[in-house]
Amino acid sequence: MSNVPLYISAMLLIGQASAQEISGSAASSQSPGVSSFLQMGMGLFVIVGLILFLAWVYRRVQPGAAGQVNAMNVLAAIPLGHRERLVMVKVIDRVLILGVTPQQINKLHEMSLEDVEAVISTDAGNGRFAEVLRQFTGRQS
């Protein structure tokens, strides 16, 4: 990132030198209006190049992206119909069971992350989402 000011100043110097070169050669063979037009065009070219370069740097750095914590994750989802689903979402230290439709999202159940991890670990990896949900809601199928 420390090379950016150096790169920008180099681009400006090159653009200025090119504009002076063009205006110097144009002044000897053409009218003063054409030389000022060429100088203005080179300045515009340098400015547009600088804007594009800064946009590229901005996309590469993306302020605010560093240090973000994934506070919310989708743990599992079960389709219930064509456009409806049941979703288990972890939000910080809580797990939410959500009913999702095209029109709305409803919170159906909430539990602690420790409870969910205990159920999954005792099930030795065979814990499917439906089984975990049945255990917490107390229903047997």
**Where do the structural domains in the chain lie, given as residue ranges?**
3-61, 72-137
**pLDDT digit string (tens) for 84-104?**
999 989 888 889 999 999 999
pLDDT at residue 3 in the model: 62
Query: How does residue 25 score in pLDDT terms, banded at 50, 70 and 90?
Result: low
Instruction: Return the pLDDT at 114.
Output: 82
* Residues comprising the chain, all counted: 141
For position 19, what pLDDT does the model report? 56
Task: For residue 54, name the pLDDT band (cuts at 50, 70, 90).
Answer: very high
* pLDDT the model gives residue 104: 94
69 or 58: whose pLDDT is higher?
58
Strands of the chain, DSSP E: 72-79, 85-91, 94-100, 105-112
Q: pLDDT higher for 130 or 73?
A: 73
Tokens describing residue 36 = 């000022």
What is the 3-state composition of the chain as percent helix, strand, coil, each rounded to the nearest 5? 55, 20, 25
pTM comes to 0.41
Which pLDDT belongs to residue 100? 93
- In Å, what is the CA distance from 39 to each residue of 24, 28, 42, 68, 77? 10, 14, 5, 46, 61
Distance (Å, whole) CA 127 – CA 85? 19
Predicted confidence at residue 16, as pLDDT, reads 66
